[in-house]
Structure 1
Amino acid sequence: MVVRVFRPLIERTTWRRWSHLVVGGALLMPYWFLAMSVTPLIPPGNAVVMVVLMLLVLPGAGAFVTGLVPTVRLLEGSLAKELLKGPAAALVPGSARSWESRVRAAAWFALHLGAGVVVSGLSLAVPPFAAVLILTPVVSWDTRLLEAWGWRGAWHQWAGPPIGLASLAALLALIVAAGALMSRLAPRLLGPSAAERLAEAEARAVRLAERNRLARELHDSVGHALSVVTLQAGAAGRVLDDDPVFAREALGAIEESARAALEDLDHVLGLLREDPSRPAPQATLKDLGRLLEQTRIAGVALDAAVDPQVEQVPAAVSREAYRIVQEGLTNALRHAGKVPVRLRLGIAGERLEVEMSNPIGAPRGDGAGHGGGRGLAGVRERVTVLRGDMSAGADGDAWRFRVSLPLRSGT
């Protein structure tokens, strides 16, 4: 029990919060000086009214008006986060971006200065007062001082120590209570408004979408290149002595795939660095022939039927369809190896249709069975953005992958 009573005396949080309140009291001083300079201009009246105006109304109004400045919220938020701790530690300091936030920050500023001046004043007055009372029985204070307090006889002086200790305890309780209250109020008055929370959520969603897009680009481009390069290198190594022409062709394809992967990687790194000088690689269905040829060089028996009209589809659909076909081929290479792959790509009405299939349960070649399983999720994200349809799964003894994309938005 005794430890619990005296614990606030040794806790750093208590004195951090006390320093926060003292800063508020110091900040109110200029407003008091301003009020004292303005008060003589007010016509004489009730003395009590004049004192209230000088000590409360004018300083409080001045503090409130100052708190409407957007930067005050940033400064007060930083100070509260650092010194008040507790619930205030979760504050994210920032300037006020709306009048609602300004008004809340102004109310906090006025409250901080008002509570601070009370705690500061008592912190200056109570300790010496308590010291005098505590030492009264053992120190011969000036008789006039004691008589002014009504202590004419010596026996009255023994009431001094309990009263002095009680006043110190009351001051400590006030400091603890005021600090805790300010810590609880800080998130409400200095925290984000509903509009700011919504804006932050939207910004977070945009950042997350951008990160997902970059992850898809890396997975589809670099991941495909590495899968193809692995198979091409294995094929070249096996026929290096028997078929040097094919080996040279495979090595050339490896070089081309690696160069394309480096370009894609350089583009993604440029986006991460927010470097606008990095041109974005814009592979489309017009580049599909090179992709299919690289897959064949890797040793895949690819049966591809591509409608020539697909080169005329809108650019946005063409770019996404290229990545979808690329990921489909990568999936076959990673999870089935060098098995026959059948690809059909054409236009049906107002939609672009992609169908790819390969046997399942076949012996796996080099490079098969690797990957983190994020490819189909990335394809589904692309299809969802374009408002298309997708299906993937086992169909008898084959793995079948279908995608249908509208050529125009809303169709």
Structure 2
Amino acid sequence: MDFDWRPEEAEFRHDLKTFLEAELPEDFDAFSLEPPEQKKFSKAFAAKLAERRWLTPAWPREYGGLEQSAWQQLILSEEMVAHGEPRTAQYMCVNWVGPALILAGTEEQKQYHLQRISRGDVVWCQGFSEPGAGSDLAALRTKATWDGSEYVISGEKIWTSYADTADYCFLLARTDPEASKHNGISIFLVPTDAPGVTISEIPSIFAPGTFNQCVFDDVRAPESWRLGPDSGGWPIIRKLLVNERVGVARFRRASSTLDHVAKAALEAGLLDDPIICEAVAKAQAACDAARVLIYRVVDERAKGQAPDLTAYVYRVATIRAEKAVYEAALQVEGSGGLLKGSYGAAQFGHALASGVATGTLEMQLNLIARDVIGAAPR
């Protein structure tokens, strides 16, 4: 195996870093911005990326991309995360909303939605989780009933990030209540300003707008809003959830935070303490393990393989790395690590979200066990 970067990959990283360092202030963090300000900033920044086709570089050229390799896609994610993820919600559009449209969309859907995503002038949210269907996504109860000429959608989604500023919701709803659990699910591309859609914030310890409730009260959806075949959404979702689990190079952000924590320990003369040394070393090892695993996922993807199991293992490693960095920050900062503005407080949110977003740690472990041991017949 060749562990070095190819010349075009090294050049892409250099050009991207040069651009980011010129456009962004030092220690920029997009997630510290208020939601309206964040949306305004990310759209303006995404437009600059789009001018260079760097917002969707892995996409086909006909949809605004450069047809870059899976490795260049990883480089993009690494550098964006290392520079405070200035794309914010745009990464979701790029990593799996757009690929879902490329995979299953009609030509009309592709022409309209992919053009907007590649220009960076639209924000999407993900209508997946429900009060009784979080980690067990296939247990969703939101229904879409065919009513002669269109669907009528009713149900509730929760924990929906970016919904308060989103233009569209990538919505899952059950269209065949008689089908088995993983069948009978359809995908809908729903404008958030459609009649019957109500979005309200769910208060939390995180920044305002982090979590939202989306209620769909007899929302009338034409057939043109459905993505893919009726009741055929699950195979599309299963394929694209891999993109969601590895789409953000979380290990890079965690590793950058750990660098700051280690520097603070050094400046405070704390690296003679064996407990602190052990905490920092464990966190570094966890970050390195996550990095190796995501590289393995990308290697499999570059070879045309479906990296389902590897993606689950990487996700577990990332969750553990995020937690290890948080624990190291608390060891170094002590009670000060609980205060706003500390590395510990900042890392707490990322560590907590990492263990829940895109499926809990326990769910990832169950998926690994199912792939290794074998799933029971349904």
TM over 0.5: no
Task: Give TM-score, length-normalised by structure 2.
Answer: 0.26
Q: Which has the higher contact order (CA 8 A, sep 6+)?
A: 2
Task: Give TM-score, length-normalised by structure 1.
Answer: 0.25
Q: Looking at secondary structure, tell me which structure has more helix per residue.
A: 1
Greater gyration radius: 1
